[in-house]
Each structure stands twice: as C-alpha cells, then as structure tokens.
C-alpha cells in the first residue's frame, strides 16, 4: 500500500484509505486462492471494537511496560541516556479526529466540532487538544525523573512547532528536545529522516536506550538499543 504520513501534506506521499489497507491485507499469494477481503464496513467495525473493548489500551500498556523495564535495567549501567518518542498515536492520540472522519484521511478543511466532523488534520493539530497516551506520558516522566533525556521525533513539519509543543506541554510532557521535519524535506520513507536524526543524537554522545513508535518506520534504521512498536490499527506510514 502506498502511504499515510506522519501528519501532513507535502511531507509524505498521499495517504491510503482504510479500504486500501484492507485490500493490501487481502491480496492472494502467488498460485494460491485469493484470501477473503473484508468489506470496508467490517474493517471499520473491527477497529471500533478493538478500541472500545479496551484491548487497544491494554496492548499499548503492555509494550510500554517492557520499555520501562528495560530502561530501569539500563540505568544501572549509566551513560548519557536518551529516550526517543514519536508523537502521533505514540505520545498523543488523534482518535477524536480519526473518529470524526469515520477513519478517513482529511488533511485540509476546518475542525469546528471534532465530536461531529468532518475534522481536517491541520486544523485539529492547531487546536492542540490531543490527549496524551497515558503509559507513554508516564514513561517520559519516569525517564526525566532519572536524568534521562527525552526527545520527541516526529514527521510533523517544522511550521507546526508552536501548536505541537503547546499540545505536548498541555498534555503534561516535558522534554529535552522536539525534532520536527524540515518544511521542504520530502523522503521516500520516514526512516530516511528519523534514522538520520537518531544518528545525530548518537553523535552528540547520547545512548538511545529506548525508541518508541507506532510505525515500523519510526523504529527502523538503527541508532537505538531497543525499539518498541505500539499498535496502530488506524493507518500506515512507510
């Protein structure tokens, strides 16, 4: 499938709809019968049930607990330690915006009432009202209380720094640095940007003990001791 970004137009390839995600999952293997492709209605229902059941939150908590366990063990060995966190669907939840659009991908347009929709992504970000993903917030606090640097590394563009930092602060986060994507930078994959930024941190002497994200492209490319993938049933970022 082709692409849903970190968050914005001009920074990534056009996003795939949930229908395209379903089709990608349902593709047949060479020479074999085609797998049953669930309808878009069924796919949305499954996502809704996964979130409403509490399994989504529980799965996030379980992954973050493993990250915290490793960080606790790693502290004993010392060093200039850092934790790197993605933002969207890792540190902040955009679930109200996603629900308002029936899990569609709407970038432009207003977001006057996120409870009803439609809700443009850019307008939603400017509202700075996304709630923290609580286990990740607690991990960030745990790290800072023990002298570990906390960096947010996101595909959001630099032009949204003000709203992004206001939202992070309002959600209760504190940080050592917030790294956003240069406005005009376009890369085939988020890996190209994020791995390079982690390498920059390593060159500054940081040992990135824990890297947490909701996409494999948040984690691939090295320059972290341990990586932790949170569930994201909503979209895919190459």
22: pLDDT strictly greater than 60: no
Residue 30's alpha-carbon distances to 1, 23, 95, 99, in angstroms, are 18, 16, 37, 36
pLDDT at 35 over 90: no
The H or E element spanning position 58 is: helix 55-75
Domains of the chain, residue spans: 18-22+37-93+131-229
Lowest mean pLDDT among 19-23, 154-158, 226-230: 19-23
Instruction: Give the pTM.
Output: 0.85
User: Chain centroid to CA 1: how far?
Assistant: 18
Given a cut of 90, whether residue 111 has pLDDT beyond it is: yes
Q: Which option is the CATH number for 18-22+37-93+131-229: 3.40.640.10, 3.40.50.1100, 3.20.80.10, 3.40.50.1000? A: 3.40.50.1000
Whole-number pLDDT of residue 8: 39
């Amino acid at each position: 499938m082709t692409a849903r970004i970190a968050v914005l137009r001009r920074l990534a390839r056009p996003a795939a709809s949930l229908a395209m995600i379903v089709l990608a999952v349902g593709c047949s293997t060479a020479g074999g019968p085609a797998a049953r492709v669930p309808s878009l209605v069924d796919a949305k229902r499954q996502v809704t049930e996964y979130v409403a059941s509490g399994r989504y939150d529980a799965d996030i908590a379980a992954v973050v607990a493993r990250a915290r366990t490793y960080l606790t063990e790693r502290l004993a060995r010392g060093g200039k330690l850092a934790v790197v966190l993605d933002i969207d669907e890792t540190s902040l939840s955009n679930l109200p915006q996603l629900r308002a659009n029936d899990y569609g991908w709407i970038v432009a347009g207003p977001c006057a009432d996120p409870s009803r929709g439609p809700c443009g992504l850019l307008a939603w970000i400017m509202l700075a009202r996304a709630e923290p993903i609580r286990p990740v917030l607690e991990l960030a606090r745990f790290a800072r209380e023990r002298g570990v640097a906390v960096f947010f590394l996101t595909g959001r563009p630099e032009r949204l720094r003000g709203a992004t930092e206001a939202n992070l602060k309002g959600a209760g986060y504190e940080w050592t640095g917030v790294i956003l994507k240069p406005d005009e930078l376009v890369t085939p994959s988020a890996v190209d940007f994020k791995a390079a930024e982690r390498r920059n941190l390593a060159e500054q002497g940081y040992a990135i003990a824990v890297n947490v994200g909701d996409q494999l492209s948040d984690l691939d490319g090295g320059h972290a001791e341990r990586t932790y993938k949170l569930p994201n049933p909503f979209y895919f970022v190459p």
